[in-house]
Amino acid sequence: MTLPELTPAGRTEIELLARGKAQKSRTLRELGLSETPEAAHTLLLRLGLWSEARTPYADRLGAALDPVTLDVPDFAGEPRLDLTHLTAYAIDDEGNRDPDDAVGIEALPGGLTRLWVHVADVAALVSPDSPLDLEARARGATLYLPDRTVGMLPDALIEKTGLGLHETMPALSISLDLDTDGNADAVDVALTQVRVQRLTYGQAQEQLEAGEEPFVTLATLARASRELREAEGALSIDLPEVRVRADENGAEVTPLPRPEMRQVVQECMTLAGWAAAIYADDHDIPLPFATQDAPTREVRGDGLGAQWARRKTLARTRFQPSPGPHGGMGLDLYAQATSPMRRYLDLVVHQQLRAHLDGTEPMSGKTVAAHIAQAGLNADATRQAERLSRRHHTLRFIAAQPEREWDAVVVDRRGQSATLLLPDLAYDLALNTPAPVGTALRVRLVDVNLPALSVRARPV
């Protein structure tokens, strides 16, 4: 096909279709091409009008790409529990720009340990139905793309509330008094003033391996908690994870390290969500409680095939204004409570807890349900845009090294077709092969098609 010359109007028309902002294109029709976003994307690439770095998925799904520029108020003076004598640690991946949670411990009489999970007090600055709240609800979540991050809330708010960005910070803190077996003797929620030190997972792991506190105690509590949840049916799923970064010059996919401190922090956040849900249930506070049906079958084994199958037994998490069990976590009730900068429903949890703490009336269950419905749709679009954009840039990374051979494992079968998982990319694709689940293969990846988000595997 001879490449056409497009008029400015023709280019605009095709770009609108590629971005999902139009349904038809007379230019594509006259060229004998399909009037689809994929066909429009293909033509724009062939004409050099779009670079391979351009991703249209957020546009197509209606996820906001412009930063929030609304004004951010200052913290008002109010009574807070002073915890600045206890050092807490905000532990994140290197380069994290929105530290919204931190962990610490406090020794109690009788052999108990108080686990503190401090969370940025975003709700102090974002009240229900304020302009900031309405904007966050319309977005649902922060959009994390390989080439940029588009916040659910303004950068100025992160600067004011991020834990560890200033010497001391206001927080909404969740505490659990735990025995050595991981059982909770009491839970509480308080408005606090905290002192937080920022660390990467690698730095925290070094402290753990050196036998430093509080990391040893945090790890001990996390292991005990995990064992209790697994006894109640919590699923342990260990599949590869990667970080995808991209710019105009190319893309890079890097396997994420898996130090124990990553699991320790994750377990502390899970405990905080459980404690927040218990506190809300005890005080009749409607929250966006996270619930999940128990898996319908048991999958045995530890290989990638078993991990893949185990993940497929998980039902979708549902949010509702009344508590219910979360089967995958092995908890009788649970609420996501540790990312109010990044997830709107976490912000609603904080708004409700804050209302109870300062003596005002929390939102009704009916209002919370309406917020769940609206924010859920918008957050789903954000997560799908992230997934498709990660896939796009992973394909760029693959295309840049066509002769490379990749390790792959068969993780599923349907008739003659198998699903391969490439651990170094955390990427799955289909291949016709008789190889059974668990078989390790070496493959080359060929015929990368960015608009179709496809690639073929060829056994070596």
For residue 27, count other CB atoms closer than 10 A to its CB: 21
Longest dimension (CA), the chain: 81
The residue type found at 92 is D
Non-local CB neighbours of 311 within 8 Å, separated by 6+ positions? 237, 239
pTM: 0.94
Rounded-to-integer distance, Cα 392 and Cα 386, Å: 10
For position 4, what pLDDT does the model report? Answer: 78
Percent of the chain scoring above 90 in pLDDT: 92
For position 98, what pLDDT does the model report? Answer: 85
Instruction: Give the pair of three-digit tokens for residue 268.
Output: 């502390």
CB 229 within 8 A of CB 330: yes
For position 6, what pLDDT does the model report? Answer: 86
- Rounded mean pLDDT, 19-47: 94
Q: At what angle do helices 215-231 and 201-209 cross, to 10 degrees?
A: 100
Q: Which residue bears the tokens 């640690």?
A: 89
pLDDT digits (tens, 9 = 90+) for 344-357: 999 999 999 999 99
pLDDT digits (tens, 9 = 90+) for 123-163: 999 999 999 999 999 999 999 999 999 999 999 999 999 99
All structural domains of the chain: 8-50 (1.10.10.10), 81-393 (no CATH), 401-459 (2.40.50.140)
Query: pLDDT averaged over the chain?
Result: 95
Measure the CA angle with vertex 186, ends 90 and 273; round to 5°. 45
Q: Which long-range contacts (CB under 8 A, 24 or more apart) does 8-16 make?
A: 11/49, 14/40, 14/43, 14/44, 15/40, 15/44, 15/49, 15/50
pLDDT band with cut points at 50, 70 and 90 for residue 339: very high
Q: Given a cut of 70, is residue 92 above it in pLDDT? A: yes
For position 130, what pLDDT does the model report? Answer: 98
pLDDT band with cut points at 50, 70 and 90 for residue 97: confident
Among 5-9, 164-168, 243-247, 356-360, the minimum mean pLDDT is found in 5-9
Q: Which residues share a beta bridge with 37?
A: none
For residue 52, count other CB atoms closer than 10 A to its CB: 18
Q: Given a cut of 70, is residue 10 above it in pLDDT? A: yes
Alpha carbon separation from 429 to 267, 333, 349, 407, 453 (Å, rounded): 31, 36, 38, 13, 11
- Rounded mean pLDDT, 228-250: 94
For position 1, what pLDDT does the model report? Answer: 57
